[in-house]
Amino acid sequence: MESTKIAEYLLKIKAVRIQAQDPFTWSSGWKSPIYCDNRLALSYPEIRKAVTQAFVAQISSMYPAASAIAGVATGAIAWGVMVAEAMDLPFVYIRAKAKGHGLQNMIEGRLEKDKQYVVIEDLVSSGKSSVAAVKAMQEQGASILGTMSIFSYGFPQAEATFATTHTGYTPLTNLQTLLQKATEIDYLAAHEQQTIFDWQKDPENWGR
């Protein structure tokens, strides 16, 4: 039920955009008929609180031993801070790469090796950037219980990528749930849903 509600929130604020005829181009070069911008949720207090509470409930259920929170820059810094604040836990964030000046940190904040971290992401596609963050923390001796995101595109590659860290991954909601809800409220037509499912099977080569 929580997954459906989060999907409904994302659709309500139009965080999800469908452009099957004029696909988006991701930084990876992949073409996509759908784009999910979870940063929009930060502008809506009710939804911001609901997402934060969903993270807290999920962490409390799945990882009761969690004693610290980490956010992946830049999209999940705000979410990670809000979750850490709600749970009264320490917080750090991980850059995509080390700074080229100053202390040249990749991990900002005090990383404590005796803590057990849950990593927060805004969304996961291939999982590469999320896993890079997890591995950067593991290389510094941190214990990672798992990673959570607001949304996942549900690519098989992501599951395989997370497996290399020997940690779990769970989204609050996913593409299948979002599409089901979108069809119910006439956010997209059935043929658009099929286009997105076809893309999900082979996103790297879709549209080429």
Confidence (pLDDT) at 178: 92
Smallest CA-to-CA distance from 203 within 132, 99, 118, 127 is with 127
Confidence (pLDDT) at 154: 87
Confidence (pLDDT) at 140: 93
Smallest CA-to-CA distance from 53 within 175, 177, 176, 172 is with 172
Confidence (pLDDT) at 17: 87
Please state, in angstroms and rounded to a whole number, the distance separating the CA atoms of residues 171 and 24.
22
Confidence (pLDDT) at 202: 87
Confidence (pLDDT) at 194: 85
pTM of the model: 0.91
Confidence (pLDDT) at 99: 53
Regions in the chain scoring below 70 on pLDDT: 1, 98-104
